[in-house]
Chain A
Amino acid sequence: MTLTRLLTGAALALGLATTAVAQDKTKVGFIYVGPIGDGGWTYEHDKGRLALEEHFGDKVETVYQESVPEGADAERAITQMALQGADLIFTTSFGYMDPTVNVAKKFPDVKFEHATGYKTADNVSTYSARFYEGRAVQGHIAGKMTESNIIGYIASFPIPEVIRGINAAYIHAKKVNPDVQFKIIWAYTWFDPAKEADAATALIEQGADVILQHTDSTAPQAAAEKAGNVITFGQASDMAEYKPKPRVSSIIDNWAPYYIERTQAVMDGTWESQQTWDGIGPGMVEIGEITDAVPAEVKEEALAMKEAMANGEYHPFTGPLKKQDGSDWLAEGEVADDGTLLGMDFYVEGLQSEIPQ
């Protein structure tokens, strides 16, 4: 056999061997909307990624890119990740919806998981958590603990997820405290500590003594701590350095079980496009430790509500409920269906401001 043939044969064998070895490792990519150090949303997704690495060890290789802006640049980032050989890509923000779908068309063999979106395809799944269950608990605690009856809410963008959160919190605050009033500031950002600090300060100056937030940094907690008698709740992660006050509880997103399950599906070849929307029951939403700053009976009620939601006995959107314009929405005992919740674009009765367009 000539030298060239021998070498070609060796090269081919080596190439096949390396591809075989490479295929053994599943490459999982993550696109983050903020920095992994935000102590909030992205931090929890990254914890999920680390749990994935710990669970599968050498069988997976993870890559991530942080602070990818939503929009056109996202498409470039996702494409690059797919070109680098990722088998499964998690895009962790609502604004990545269209870019994910576009890139998925170009890479039919790569699986995509889009967080908090609603567009799917053969190789695109969506997943989200029922954060509104956590908001219900927050609203209950807030309604009971507020002394000025003014609750401040730092909202991000007027999308259904945020509006659901506001409604859920309001319904439960109002149930325990009919005089409660919500003041809402739209920050138009998921993560901007300076703006969040300013918004929190403005709300506190207007008399709010509870601050709820749908933005990702710990700046509102810092502003509340500076002001003194204000309580806050951790958003998306525990924000534990502000315990026991101002942070009295938190909503913790727990993505690890879902990520491990989906990566296993890709490895087994059983991955299929689906829409997952899990809450407290399946463990995707956790309520962070309720500190002693909360009175004992309020804490018990909150934990009881959490159990009821976990068992499926209680749904935060149970009638009778009316929409802000006075029209009927849910009859006595009726529970809102997922479709309405996913597309929610109205406030419930009692909220006084308007949703920006």
Chain B
Amino acid sequence: MDLSSINPALLVASLLVAATPILLAAIGELVVERSGVLNLGVEGMMITGAICGFAVSVETGSPLLGFVLAALGGAVLALLFALLTQVALANQVASGLALTLFGLGLSSLMGQGYVGIKPPPTPKLDIPVLSDLPFIGRVVFSHDLMVYFALALVAAVWATLKYTRAGLILRAVGENHDAAHALGYKVVRVRLMAILFGGACAGLGGAYISLVRVPQWTEGMTAGAGWIALALVVFASWKAGRVLLGAWLFGGVTVLQLNLQAAGVAIPVEYLSMSPYLITIVVLVIMSADKSRAPASLGRIFHASA
């Protein structure tokens, strides 16, 4: 057993990369759930984004365009969900699950011709002086664009929800949609936009997996990352800061357990494999011991009463 072989700088750098897809999906889902819609289709939207981004990248040679169209792909799938739940007033849980299954199948179909192909590489940031600093250089300044974008997005979502009028309206719709409607806010429109945003973020998260993390396309490659993001939002009590912490914790322990295995640590492999899930749940549950609740209208169907 040789713990000295684990390099802390590389570990933290890998942690940030591993956390990004889940972070993106979770922050999108946070916005959706704060508006009062329970969208269980995160996995489907992620994997649709993964194949859209991958296909576009391979065809056009530009990863950036891939990411943009992945967000669009995720949003289009989410639009389907929005139509079902906001216009047709279908049950949100059932629609979300159906969306997941549909997304998985659709992405397999779309991905038929793309198995085994190498996508164009996503460029990493390389600032001349800053990237060469001993620890901080590798950890902070040497990532690809999406890592920084995800962190900026979390900050933006937090600031919007807390300090802006738009955020307040979103929260109001999520807490009590009847009161919000009585005040004249367009509940359906707000929720629609939130759902599209959530779909776009999940699509970006999925594209990150297929373009940067692996990078390859395979059927079902998100391997449950969407479900983890969903659980993360709940365990984080719908607070953006805690979502960030949870994503880092999950990504970090996942990377750490692989490094521990490679270093030959004597803990059985099975325990190491389940550690990311256990540790994230335990930490977030302890943190939620304060009396945060879910948005009061979460999952309830909105009937516009005159």
List residues of chain A with CB under 8 Å of any chain B CB: 35, 37-39, 67, 152, 183-186, 188, 191-195, 197-199, 201-203, 205-208, 217-219, 222, 226, 241, 352-354, 356-357
Contact = CB atoms under 8 A, between A and B. Distances in A.
B6 interface: yes
A199 B258 contact: yes
B216 A193 contact: yes
Contacts of B221: 193-194
A2 B7 CA distance: 91
A82 to B, nearest CB: 26
B264 A352 contact: yes
Contact of A202 (B214, B255, B270): B255
Given A193-B216, A193-B221, A202 B259 contact: yes
Interface string B55-72: 000000000000000000
B192 interface: no
Given A193-B218, A194-B223, A207-B5, A38 B115 contact: yes
Contacts of A192: 223
A206 B262 CA distance: 8
A191 B220 CA distance: 11
A201 B115 CA distance: 21
Interface residues of B, number: 33
A218 B116 contact: yes
Interface of B: 5-7, 10-11, 14, 18, 115-116, 118, 121, 209, 213-216, 218-219, 221, 223, 254-255, 258-259, 261-264, 266, 268-270, 273
Given A186-B269, A356-B268, A218 B216 contact: yes
For B10, B219, B269, B270, the residue with the greatest tally of chain A CB atoms inside 10 Å of its CB is B269
A202 B263 CA distance: 10
10 residue pairs, one from A and one from B, having the closest CB atoms:
A37-B115, A202-B258, A205-B10, A183-B262, A39-B116, A356-B269, A185-B261, A193-B214, A206-B5, A197-B214
A186 B216 contact: no
Nearest to B225: A194
A188 B216 CA distance: 20
A86 B10 CA distance: 52
A183 B1 CA distance: 10
A272 B270 CA distance: 41
B216 A203 contact: no
Contacts of B255: 198, 202
10 contacts: A35-B219, A37-B116, A184-B261, A188-B269, A191-B218, A197-B213, A198-B213, A199-B258, A205-B10, A226-B121
Given A186-B269, A205-B11, A354-B266, A35 B218 contact: yes
